[in-house]
Amino acid sequence: MNKKNLLITGASGAVGSEILKQLSELTDMFKITVFDLKTRESVKFLNKFDKIYEIVYGDITNNDDVEKVCHNVDFVIHLAAIIPPKADKLPDLSKNVNVGGTKCLVRNLELFSPNSFLVYASSISVYGDRLKNPWITVTDPLTPSEGDEYALTKIEAERVIKKSKIDWSIFRLTAIMGKHKLSELLFHMPLNTPLEIATPAGTAKAFVEAINNTHLLSKKIYNLGGGASYRILYKDFLSRSFEAVGLGKLNFPEKSFAERNFHCGYYADSNELEDVLKFQRGTVDDYFYSLRKSTNVFKRFFTWIFSGIIKRVLLSKSEPLKAFRLNDVKLKKRFFAILFILISHSLFSQSHSLVLNISNIKPYAGIIRIGIYNNEDDWLNENKEFKVVTIVAEKGEISINVPGLPNGEYAVTMYQDENSNNKCDKSFFGIPIERIGFSNNTIPKLFKPSFDECKFSITAKKTVNIRLITL
């Protein structure tokens, strides 16, 4: 029997390592090539498999490196990526690897393995903050949270794959719990966030099962979660995790955790991928049992002894608490629903929604950055907006709802960042060369439009139509 050629990128992470373990029983059916960046950690891990698989080290953004592994490939599991928090701290590197690397891989597969099938690991982060509407389906709009560079790269990489000439399927992975290093992200997620977690082993099984079910997955996007039995609130997840490893109670100070602007939720359609691949196993109770069992008695005892010190070290990573204590208004807007400044209760009790109907969008071209201003002094000054909203330019017309605007006067400006470089590109003379738009559909002439030209009042729910234009 002729073996199928299987390529896996980025296999030294939590999910990739489980995939390699599960595939070790299928080497009579597949010739497996593992492509990963050469680091001390990846070499140490992959050395365990060098007698079973072909291990190739290289850079996913280097065309010569990628070409070597793209000849005569039948199936690809594409996991290679820069993940948070590194992805958000180094956005240029993240975009280069997550988007540029995906382009490089797809280009070489189109040339040397045009009949290959690629399964891509995307992320639940593409849906953004879902606290108010936690039930997620794959058809929901992609509205990444403010500052989530990782989500933007995942959306762009998905677009690259969907436009490619090879066959594909995209799995949007929920929060994968296991082998995670504790970082500042621990405090970025609001405690009341609904979670539908998945384990590395369960997720890996989905990718492995996908190999023999490509005809059912072709050109489809799925939400990959653990299912109904793996749903839990984040505060309960943390509390049970702390108890299982010996850290005791979840007793951090008030404002240690963000109250908004993250992601995660329940996958209302997680059964759809399960119906095809039959990968979901166990319950959230099984997860905590396994976590406790993997933490031996001595380790749990010493963790309990030093739990105070450990939690103080963890707390030092809390960016929401730092923002609150340092009165950093910009970061407080990012992490908290209400700024901790002297604003009367009545002001917030009279907040309203603004519906923006945006037209003349260039479809599938980058993102749209929207700035909402509430005074003339800050008008058109970036980083001084009252609110910033970022949406994906998926179609020619988009309608979005912006809640939480108190009574007052506002003006809106926006631009379509087609190349996703986080700025409105301009000509030598300083004229925008990307699509722009203003409230009241004000058209700039010799000078930038004024706040007065663009302003409108909000005393109830308001709808504003804006048509993007090119100058």
Task: For residue range 270-283, list pLDDT tens digits in order.
Answer: 999 999 999 999 99
Q: Helix 307-315 to helix 297-305 angle, to the nearest 10 degrees? A: 70
Lowest mean pLDDT: which of 94-98, 190-194, 233-237, 337-341?
337-341
Give bridge partners of residue 54 from the DSSP assignment: 33
**More confident: 227 or 429:** 227
Instruction: Using the structure block, give the residue that is written with the tokens 């005074």.
Output: 375
Strand pairing class (398-405; 352-359): antiparallel
> Does residue 185 register a pLDDT over 80?
yes
Counting residues of the chain whose pLDDT is more than 90, the rounded percentage is 70
Amino acid symbol at 156: E
Q: At a CB cut-off of 8 Å and minimum separation 6, what does 89 contact? A: none
What pLDDT score does 382 carry? Answer: 79
What pLDDT score does 338 carry? Answer: 57
> Does residue 137 register a pLDDT over 70?
yes
What pLDDT score does 390 carry? Answer: 81
Mean pLDDT, rounded, for 157-180: 93
The pLDDT-based confidence of 458 (bands split at 50, 70, 90) is: very high
Q: Report residue 349 as tokens.
A: 């009790």
pTM score of the predicted model: 0.74
The pLDDT-based confidence of 326 (bands split at 50, 70, 90) is: confident
Taking alpha carbons only, the member of 10, 283, 266, 14 closest to residue 124 is: 266
Instruction: Using the structure block, give the residue that is written with the tokens 């108010």.
Output: 132
Query: Which helix (DSSP H) or strand (DSSP E) does residue 244 occupy?
Result: helix 234-245
Cα distance between residue 60 and residue 65, in whole Å = 7
Neighbours of 205 (CB within 10 A): 19
> Does residue 262 register a pLDDT over 90?
yes
**More confident: 296 or 65:** 65
Mean pLDDT, rounded, for 445-454: 89
The pLDDT-based confidence of 13 (bands split at 50, 70, 90) is: confident
What pLDDT score does 334 carry? Answer: 87
Work out the burial of residue 311: count CB atoms within 10 Å of its CB; fewer than 13 is exposed, 13-18 middle, 19 or more buried: middle
The pLDDT-based confidence of 72 (bands split at 50, 70, 90) is: very high
Give bridge partners of residue 232 from the DSSP assignment: 195
Task: For residue range 383-428, list pLDDT tens digits in order.
Answer: 788 888 888 787 899 999 888 788 899 999 999 988 777 788 888 8
What pLDDT score does 188 carry? Answer: 95
Supply the mean pLDDT for the chain: 91
What pLDDT score does 340 carry? Answer: 44
Task: For residue range 76-111, list pLDDT tens digits in order.
Answer: 999 999 999 999 889 999 999 999 999 999 999 999
> Does residue 436 register a pLDDT over 50?
yes
Cα distance between residue 111 and residue 435, in whole Å = 34
> Does residue 450 register a pLDDT over 90?
yes
Contact (Cβ atoms closer than 8 angstroms) between residue 287 and residue 146: no
Show the domains of the chain with their CATH numbers: 4-186+197-229+266-284 (3.40.50.720), 345-467 (2.60.40.10)
Neighbours of 172 (CB within 10 A): 24
What pLDDT score does 350 carry? Answer: 62
Mean pLDDT, rounded, for 16-45: 92
Contact (Cβ atoms closer than 8 angstroms) between residue 188 and residue 319: yes
> Does residue 345 register a pLDDT over 70?
no
What pLDDT score does 26 carry? Answer: 87
Q: Report residue 130 as tokens.
A: 């879902």
